[in-house]
Amino acid sequence: MRTARAYETLSRPQRIAVVTATVVVGSMFLPWYGVPFTTDLVITGWGAFGFLEAAMLLCLGATILLVGAGGFGREVHVPFRIGTLIAGAGGWCLVLLTVRFLDRPTVPLAGLNVEADQRYGMWIALGASALLMLAGLTARRR
């Protein structure tokens, strides 16, 4: 109840930032990678968890906490505007996802190492990160 009231006090770009950051975190449960010749063998974002995913989750968590603190009426002292920090978080997630997009894992299958291809979870995370950056730029203009 209190969280819903805090969400209502946020501006529209800040609401979009919270939703898109949550979508990126939620996309970690979707298939990010899979074996090219079958749809049954997939790797989620948690299955491919490494330094990049940890950095991305830390950045997204900090974004949600920063925007949420403002929604609860707490004064947040940051060196930049909140919109700038949100845009930076979205851009950083885009960079990390691009690196992960280009550096695909290999899947051991029948004694061979098969390079995995991207699945829809990775695309959802990329799109939500781009929207997060756009929401930050919009909040910055206001």
Q: Write out pLDDT tens, residues 48-85.
A: 788 988 999 999 998 888 887 766 666 766 777 788 88
How far apart (Å, rounded) are the C-alpha atoms in residues 142 and 39? Answer: 45
Q: What would the CATH number be for the domain defined by 2-141?
A: 1.20.140
Domain boundaries, the chain: 2-141
- Give the pLDDT score at 83: 83
CA–CA separation, 103 vs 46, rounded Å?
Answer: 16
- In angstroms, the first-to-last Cα distance of the chain is 28
